[in-house]
Structure 1
Amino acid sequence: MADVREGVAEEDLLRADLYSMLANLLAREPSQDMIDVASRLSGDESELGQGITALAAVAKKSTAKAVEREYNALFIGLGRGELLPYASYYLTGFLNEKPLARLRGHMSQLGIQRNDDVKEPEDHIATLCEIMAGLIRGTYGDPLSVEDQHAFFNTHVATWAGHFFTDLEAAEGSVFYAPVGKIGRAFMEIEIEAFRMET
């Protein structure tokens, strides 16, 4: 991974790491190891930092079994979970709609292939966070310019992810995931503002 990260600014690597953390926490129920890592995080007084501190506090008291139950209730459920973490659903009210087709076209242009091990449609929030991390780090080739990162973010993430993270923070079943929602919401606001200032 070190060779991929070469030449990428430190603040961009921190952004990529935050995207990766969100992707890992949202792609599947976290392992005990992931929960233990979360329990050792520390944040500052910013809203994002407060979310990180809150996640660490909840993680210290969480077991993998309890977080698995919460994850299943939020995202899987009997028939469907409390939340549907897909761009298509948030933007159109239905799954597998135009936002997914648009994303697949953009992924193809960027040389990003679907992971055959992942059964979820590509417009899942975890996949989009993983892609953003990869675009910043250069996982799919050269790291994307800020302008190209901005174009991808604006088209596929900014339009709905803040709403999803707000819903996650406030969801009835959110305990471990409430601070994940706060982190995601605050991070999306920071990204939107930073891209606005840089372009």
Structure 2
Amino acid sequence: MENYEDFFTENFETATIKGELVTLRGIHETAEGPGSAENIFNAIEGSREFLNEHLPWIQETDIFDLQKRIRSWVLNERFGQGGCWLIFKNTPENSDGLFAGAIMAEINLRNHSATLSYWLTKPFTGQGLMTESVRLISKFAFEKLKLNRLELLVSVHNGKSAAVAMRCGFVEEGINRDFELINGKFVDHRRFSLLARDVY
């Protein structure tokens, strides 16, 4: 591929990705209904204590902070630096699905790689939704975007998130010491990776 940056720019978008359990939809500033900032905020409010354990930005987030965070992801997509997909659980009763969480990809164009991060609100954990979401994003990243490497960094205290990585075929590479300041304490993170050649 002679000019990967041009290829990526032409092909990158947070397109809707549908799976058996979930549908992933790109985040938008002006979305209404299930994908609106208000609905996302209400879901966070209902799981704030649960989410705060591993997501330091949750504790002080209000609707205005969330709107700024959404704008930043929209700009990241526009400049080819990353994307954020909202996770909706597929249900026969609701064609839009039920908002469950989000999955993000920060792009490193120079190295043809991306760092994934994700979260689910408490009512939707333990149902296989995140495992499928990570698999869908991985397939999109390798097949559509021709990335070479995906990376996940997971708190050493977050066994459930590490289990998602391993179920999706990610290989543990080591420990990033004092990687993140969470609730006033520096926390080590486990580093996982998945390469295109691991699956293709």
* TM, length-normalised to structure 2: 0.31
Of Structure 1 and Structure 2, the greater strand share is in 2
The TM-score normalised by the length of structure 1 is 0.31
The structure that is helix-richer by fraction is 1
